A and B are shown apart, each in its own frame.
Chain A
Amino acid sequence: MVEVALLGSLSAAAGGKKTLDIEAKDIRELFRKLAEQYPGLEPLIERGIAVSIDGVIYRDTWSKELPEGAEIYLLPRIAGG
């Protein structure tokens, strides 16, 4: 079980929830379960969500494991210039 924090537009898409407890071993499983449990997040996941694990931001590596007790944030996929 990991605790996932949501901020910004992602929190609004999850019905205003700031944190979620999810049983997930990696980012792929996290996204699958988030889409099942919070359909409002599904289009955002399809567009791209970044996951911060202990301060390191992952945009595409869905195989990244979510260690127990890690600080996990969901962030919007950031645009660059």
Chain B
Amino acid sequence: MGFDASYTGQKFKSVGTRPLRPDGVDKVTGRARYGADFNMPGQLVGRILRSPHAHAKIKKIDTSKAEKLKGVKAVITAADLPDLTDGDAGMYDVLDNCMARKKALYDGHAVAAVAAIDAPTARAALKLIKVDYEVLPHVTDVDEAVKPGGPLLHKTVFTGGVDPKPKKPSNVANRSQYGHGDVEAGFKAADVIIERTYRTEQTHQGYIEPHACVASVNSDGTGELWVCTQGHFVYRQHCAQLLGMDVSKLRVTSSEIGGGFGGKTHVWAEPVALALSRKAGRPVKLVMTRDEVFRASGPTSATSIDIRIGARKDGTITAAEATLRYSCGPYAGMWAELGAMTSFACYDLKNVKSVGYEVLVNRPKVAAYRAPSAPMAAFAVESAIDELAHKIGMDAVKFRIKNAAKEGTKSSYGPVYGPIGIGPTLEAAQKHPHMKAPLGKNQGRGMACGFWFNFGGQTCTDLNIGVDGTVNLAVGTVDVGGSRASLSLVAAEELGIAYEQVKAVVADTATLGYNDMTDGSRGTFSSSMATIFAARNAIKVMRERAAKMWDISVDDVVWEDGHAKAKGKKHGNLAPLSVKEIAAAAPNTGGPIAGHNEIVADGAGVSFATHICDVEVDPQTGSTRVVRYTVVQDAGKAVHPTYVEGQYQGGAAQGIGWALNEEYIYGKDGRLQNAGFLDYRIPVCSDLPMIDTQILEIPNPNHPYGVRGVGETSIVPPLAAIANAVSNAVAVRMTHIPMSPPRILAALEAEKA
């Protein structure tokens, strides 16, 4: 049945409450099963051999000694993962990243793998594999990679998006441009112009749980994969394509997930585990070490960004321009393009231009990281906006409010905005007590705003009503932040029953229709829409069953407050029937009662946030402590406010780490120097203040409850908010993230000089 997804202003009983999450007890008692917690009979241990070189031709791989080692059941190389991508360049890159074919393109690139009876045997076998490399010149720095005459990653890459097509290959894979108006005319009209170059270093999503899976491929061509992922249906499709399997014959079950943040939207080791299992004829468990996670999975881009923004003395921005260079690792991506699209999206600008360059370097293949590419662009733009406000003597919040995008604004990436929340988040920040709180010695306050698109996508849910009237809700979007609780609230709301009577599970790929991944802040947005419609389908069935039980027309049965009610005076003596009573009668009124829905949940609606941050900088050591932090963000409608707040706080916490400490450090040899949590320091509880949150609810017109995605936008403003706070604390403009103690001390020394 088709349903209208428009916002209706419905009043809620369950939605907006804060019950405990259904997966909570398992998680705090250690019973929840993550990627590495699954085992199969006869299971082998998989291990991957990785390149120690940043860039090297693979001349020969000799696996013969490893194959002869007792206990080794399979050894594979790229030859065991033939190219079945049929011209799909993106999937070919995924295949080549899973197992290097002709060249190792970064330190940590997989070149071979083994499956053995235990971990010591597997490790010993890796040492027996002889790889004959021809080491090539490498480049790991985003600015160095674009200089002519430097090391070239691929002779086949010619910069796309430029006319005429270049005749020489380049490390710049693509150029993209957004904007409108005449920026040069706009700059001529400006009284003050700020022009600076900013840099951000490469960071990892830092999920606590490493990539882990158990793969089992049978001789009949069927297979199973238990895996930690943000999208088991997408993993199924990618693995089936790379392995040459039928999609329907590969059953993928998602485990609980110990963090993903975009890094688990991409297959890394899973096709390797399946190929090992296929060759060995036994199940294979493959768990990446932390070293492997850092060296070979999921970092975000390092960036180098030029910003020029001009304004009149009255505070009107007349022109804004950004040139963004984003590292992609060795394979082309759209990371700079996303930076170009998002950089000025918070503002109403007559003249704006942003140009993105996708830069190939000898580092791991970049993956999405929570509002991918937007935080770095926001750091550069919001730093310049703050400096510009100071220069014209205007309060930084007022300056932003004056120039903020609103309904009807032509966005910097093209389309005209509908109802949006940037203005309200700025106004809420302006009024927030945090803005007026006194600051101590060596302290500074900063603020910044941020934008992310959000999206919906293909979604499918099953709602089954048990014989006792309790409800099973099967969803296909992996629960990364409490969505089983949120979706249970939605089912309870629609059916009119208690939250505790709904049990939500994430179904495997063989038992539910296709679902896109939990990315793009889509999990609760999309699956709540599908759950609403599935519940309404179940209600239709229950009205029909009640009509049968009463022997009246279904047209005389309405659904109110969790009960079927007979309407009209002629049925006045019929007592309402509860879900429990209708379910109990189901065997004799037509059998099981269920509601199902499959949709494309488009119309997610864009999202905005404003953050306020106070820091204290020790001028002797350059060490920075965040002393107060406030997040203001539009949720459309907070289905479960506690988990919305959790998303806000989580994004801010990750942003604090990114702003102050986290950074991939490469040696001159092109090898990663800090592939572990001791040397790559993410913030722990003692590093963070309590992060205050304020949820705004500006309904999304394209969702029945007004819901917007909330998972990603919260990581967009922190880099800039903290940089503005540090710059205000030390009276030196900070232009390089992370603002680690040595970098702050260097900036202070440079200022003195």
Contact = CB atoms under 8 A, between A and B. Distances in A.
A60 B340 contact: no
Interface stretch (B59-67, B451-459, B733-741): B451-459
B602 A75 contact: no
Contact of B414 (A12, A59, A73, A79): A73
B521 interface: yes
Q: Can you list the 5 inter-chain pairs with the closest CB atoms, starting with the nearest?
A: A80-B520, A81-B262, A80-B519, A12-B161, A81-B368
A57 interface: yes
B163 A79 contact: no
Contact of B600 (A7, A8, A60, A73): A60
Contacts of B520: 78-81
A79 B326 CA distance: 15
A55 B409 CA distance: 10
A2 interface: no
A16 B165 CA distance: 12
A11 B178 CA distance: 10
B413 interface: yes
Interface stretch (B369-377, B436-444, B541-549): B369-377
B137 interface: no
Contacts of A57: 415, 453, 455, 602-604
Interface residues of A, number: 28
Contacts of A75: 341, 413-415
Contacts of A59: 455-457, 600, 602
B602 A60 contact: yes
Given A7-B414, A61-B600, 15 more contacts: A8-B341, A9-B337, A12-B175, A12-B176, A15-B163, A52-B414, A56-B605, A57-B602, A75-B415, A78-B455, A78-B520, A79-B372, A79-B519, A80-B522, A81-B519
B337 A76 contact: yes
30 contacts: A5-B414, A7-B178, A8-B178, A8-B356, A9-B160, A9-B161, A12-B160, A12-B163, A15-B163, A52-B415, A54-B415, A56-B418, A56-B603, A57-B604, A60-B457, A64-B602, A73-B415, A75-B413, A75-B414, A78-B338, A78-B453, A78-B455, A79-B262, A79-B519, A80-B522, A80-B712, A81-B369, A81-B370, A81-B372, A81-B519
Interface string A56-75: 11111100100000010101
A55 B702 CA distance: 12
Given A12-B161, A61-B600, A80 B702 contact: no
Contact of B416 (A47, A71, A76): A71
B334 interface: yes
Contacts of B161: 8-9, 12
B43 interface: no
A47 B290 CA distance: 32
B175 to A, nearest CB: 8
Interface of B: 90, 160-163, 174-178, 205, 261-262, 265, 334, 337-338, 340-341, 356, 368-372, 413-418, 453-458, 517, 519-522, 600, 602-605, 702, 712
Given A9-B174, A61-B600, A81-B265, A55 B417 contact: yes
A75 B606 CA distance: 14
A71 B457 CA distance: 22
Contacts of A5: 414
B334 A81 contact: no
A29 B519 CA distance: 28
A76 B413 CA distance: 11
Nearest to A60: B600
A64 B702 CA distance: 14
Contacts of B368: 79-81
Contacts of B163: 12, 15-16
Contacts of B372: 79-81
B238 to A, nearest CB: 14
Contact of B415 (A16, A55, A78, A79): A55
A52 B692 CA distance: 35
A58 B457 CA distance: 9
Contacts of A11: 177
A80 B456 CA distance: 10
A79 B520 CA distance: 7
Identify the interface centre among B341, B414, B600: most chain A CB within 10 Å of its CB.
B414
A68 B520 CA distance: 30
A57 B606 CA distance: 9
Nearest to B354: A8
Nearest to A52: B415
A48 B416 CA distance: 22
Given A47-B90, A52-B415, A80-B372, A58 B602 contact: yes
Given A57-B604, A81-B369, A9 B334 contact: yes
Contacts of A58: 602-603
B162 A12 contact: yes
A38 B19 CA distance: 53
Nearest to A6: B414
A55 B519 contact: no
B220 to A, nearest CB: 32
Contacts of B605: 56
Contacts of B162: 12
A8 B369 contact: no
Nearest to B335: A79
Nearest to A56: B603
A53 to B, nearest CB: 9
B38 to A, nearest CB: 25
Given A80-B262, A80-B712, A55 B604 contact: no
A47 to B, nearest CB: 7
Nearest to A72: B415
A9 B163 CA distance: 12
Contacts of A81: 205, 261-262, 265, 368-372, 519-520, 712
A75 B521 CA distance: 18
A26 to B, nearest CB: 13
Nearest to A43: B89
Contacts of B416: 54-55, 71
A73 B414 CA distance: 7
B265 A71 contact: no
Contacts of A80: 262, 265, 368, 371-372, 453-455, 517, 519-522, 712
Contacts of A50: 455
A58 B603 CA distance: 6
Contacts of A61: 600, 602
Contacts of B261: 81
Interface in A1-53: 5, 7-9, 11-12, 15-16, 47, 50, 52
Nearest to A64: B602
B334 A76 contact: yes
A12 B712 CA distance: 29
A7 B602 contact: no
A45 to B, nearest CB: 14
Given A55-B415, A60-B458, A8 B176 contact: yes
Contacts of A9: 160-161, 174, 176, 334, 337
A12 B356 CA distance: 13
Contacts of A15: 163
Nearest to B358: A9
Contacts of A79: 262, 265, 334, 338, 368, 372, 519-520
Nearest to A5: B414
Contacts of B455: 50, 57, 59, 78, 80
